[in-house]
Amino acid sequence: MPSVLGLLEARQMKVREEVARLREEAERVQAALDAAERAFPRLADTRETVAEVLAGPPAGETGQAQAAVARSTVPHRAPGGASAPASSAFSPRPACAAAPRGPWCRRSV
C-alpha cells in the first residue's frame, strides 16, 4: 500500500502541472483579449468615418469639391487604352506590364 506522503506528493505534482497549464492558457486568452480591445476602438472609428462619408459632404464643402474636380486634368490615353504617365518616375501598375495577370490588369493574357 502506498504511503500517505507519497499520495500527497503525487497529487501536489498534478495540481502544480495543472496550475502551469492554466497560467499558459490565461496568458493566451489575455493576449487575445488585448488584441480585441485594440481592434474595437479602431473599428468604431472606422464605422463612424464611413457613416460620415456616406452621409455626404458638409454644407460648406460642396463648392470646394466641385471646384477641385473642375480643375482636375485627365491623363492622355494612348491607343490601346494605356494612359501616359505624368512623369518618368510614375508608372501605373508596373506589375501589369511585367506579368499581366489578375483582376487589377485590364489586358487579358
Is 24 inside any structural domain? yes
Residue at 67 is within a domain: no
In-domain check, residue 91:
no
Could you tell me if residue 92 is inside a domain?
A: no
Q: What's the confidence (pLDDT) of residue 69? A: 64
Are the C-beta atoms of residues 81 and 92 closer than 8 Å to each other?
no
pLDDT attached to residue 109: 42
Residue range of the domain that includes 43: 1-57
> Is 0.95 topped by the overall pTM?
no
Q: Does residue 39 surpass a pLDDT of 80?
A: yes
Instruction: Indicate the number of domains in the chain.
Output: 1
Other CB atoms within 10 Å distance of the CB of residue 38: 9
Higher pLDDT pick, 108 / 31:
31
pLDDT surpassing 50 at residue 108 = no
C-alpha span between 109 and 96 (Å, rounded) = 11
In a domain, 53, yes or no: yes
The tens digit of pLDDT for each residue in 90-105 reads 555 555 555 555 555 5
Average pLDDT over residues 3-10: 95
Q: How many Å apart are CA 66 and CA 69, to the nearest integer?
A: 5
The reply to whether 44 falls in a domain is yes
- Predicted confidence at residue 5, as pLDDT, reads 94
Residue 95: inside a domain, yes or no?
A: no
Reported as a pLDDT band with limits 50, 70 and 90, residue 2 is confident
- For residue 39, is it within any domain? yes
- Assign 3-class secondary structure to 17-30: HHHHHHHHHHHHHH
pLDDT per residue as tens digits for the range 67-82: 666 667 777 777 776 6
DSSP labels, the chain: ---HHHHHHHHHHHHHHHHHHHHHHHHHHHHHHHHHHHHHHHHHHHHHHHHHHHH---GGGHHHHHHHHHT--PPPBPTTSPBPPSSTT--S-HHHHHS--STT-SS--
